[in-house]
Amino acid sequence: MSVAGRSLELFFIDGRADGMLTAEVFNWTGHVLRAPRIQLKQALLRDEASNTGVYFLMGQIDGHNTLYIGEAEDMRERLRSHAQTKDWWDEVVLITTAADALHKAHVKYLESRLVEIARDVSAVSLENGNTPSRSSLSEAATANMESFIDTLMMVLPAIRIDAFLSKKRSKADANSSAIAASLVTEDTPQFIFEVKRHRVQASAILRNGEWVVLAGSTVRGDWVGDRKHNTHYHKLHDELISQNVIGCDGDTCSMKVDFAFSSPSAAAAVVAGRSANGRTSWIHTQTGQTYAEWEATQIEKDTE
């Protein structure tokens, strides 16, 4: 079944990629405004700032990316207060509707659900102390809010907010066969990466444009590579262990869920516990080709 595309409109208010911007989707009531704190005055002068909505404060505390999620019937007044009492944040996001159609129960529900999602993803530190309780909504209103969130989850990564972007792709049983645990068809490209002396044996598939390492794959539990020059990969490795995406039983560590990586090399580095060239490390299970060789043959087929 084909997936319907969506059209996202970004408007860079002052013509700068790092300045204020708005995001809207065709046939979606939501309206998103992102602004750096140094432009907070200009952001609060906009009409949507006085709407009922949810908002994010984003910045760093002790070197950790931090997010605060809140709700207000008048976001302008709430953010004026935060500007005086919270000094760690440097960006703000306001989420509302163009016609100010949200009411207090709507935004309390959205706030609670967004905190739940962010806690599950664990991509950033949440400054919210507890998960707020959900407001009581009718069945229809709850369905509407869940639909609103579905579209919002598409919009946020497009404006460089990854706190809600989960890379987990299943709840597969890590004790079962990795390939059998996922929805793999005959046409799904499958790859394997082994480091036999360290008992590393990982399986991956290329699915829907994502490089997915499958649950049950055995991986290196310690990062043994250079931490100074490969900071992104070793941080990712550490984060996946802290999030229990990688779990260890004694000396054996494995992927607990299917997990989507940004590239074959990112996946290979996390699996091996050191920097690795994923284009040559991953081997196609049917042809024995490296990923680079397999990719070249696919491009040749498609362009002949």
pLDDT of res. 94: 98
Calpha distance 165→176 (Å, rounded):
26
What are the strands of the beta sheet with 125-126, ordered from one edge?
8-12, 21-25, 30-36, 89-97, 53-61, 64-72, 125-126
Calpha distance 289→185 (Å, rounded):
19
Calpha distance 298→302 (Å, rounded):
6
pLDDT of res. 65: 86
- CB under 8 Å to 149, separation ≥6 — which residues? 110, 113, 114, 117
pLDDT of res. 256: 92
DSSP letter string, 28-91: --EEEEEEEGGGHHHHHTSGGGGSSEEEEEEEEETTEEEEEEEEESSHHHHHHHHHHH--SEEE
302, pLDDT greater than 70: no
pLDDT of res. 48: 95
Calpha distance 95→286 (Å, rounded):
48
166, two tokens: 């989960």
**283 and 290 Cβ atoms separated by less than 8 Å:** yes
pLDDT of res. 226: 75
Q: Using 50, 70 and 90 to split pLDDT, how confident is the model at 300?
A: confident
170, pLDDT greater than 70: no
Report which of residues 173 and 224 the model is more confident about. 224
Q: Which residue has the tokens 């066969």?
A: 177
Nearest residue to 283 via CA among 196, 216, 215, 220: 196
138, pLDDT greater than 90: yes
pLDDT of res. 180: 44
9, pLDDT greater than 50: yes
pLDDT of res. 233: 85
pTM: 0.70
Report percent pLDDT > 90 for the chain: 61
pLDDT of res. 1: 41
For the segment 32-61, the average pLDDT, to the nearest whole number, is 96
pLDDT of res. 230: 58
Give residue-wise pLDDT tens across range 195-231: 988 889 999 999 878 899 999 999 998 998 777 765 6
109, pLDDT greater than 90: yes
Q: What's the Cα-to-Cα distance from 89 to each of 56, 77, 79, 247, 287, rounded to whole Å?
A: 10, 17, 11, 33, 51
Give residue-wise pLDDT tens across range 53-75: 999 999 998 878 899 999 999 99
128, pLDDT greater than 70: yes
CA atoms within 13 Å, Cβ hemisphere of 120: 12
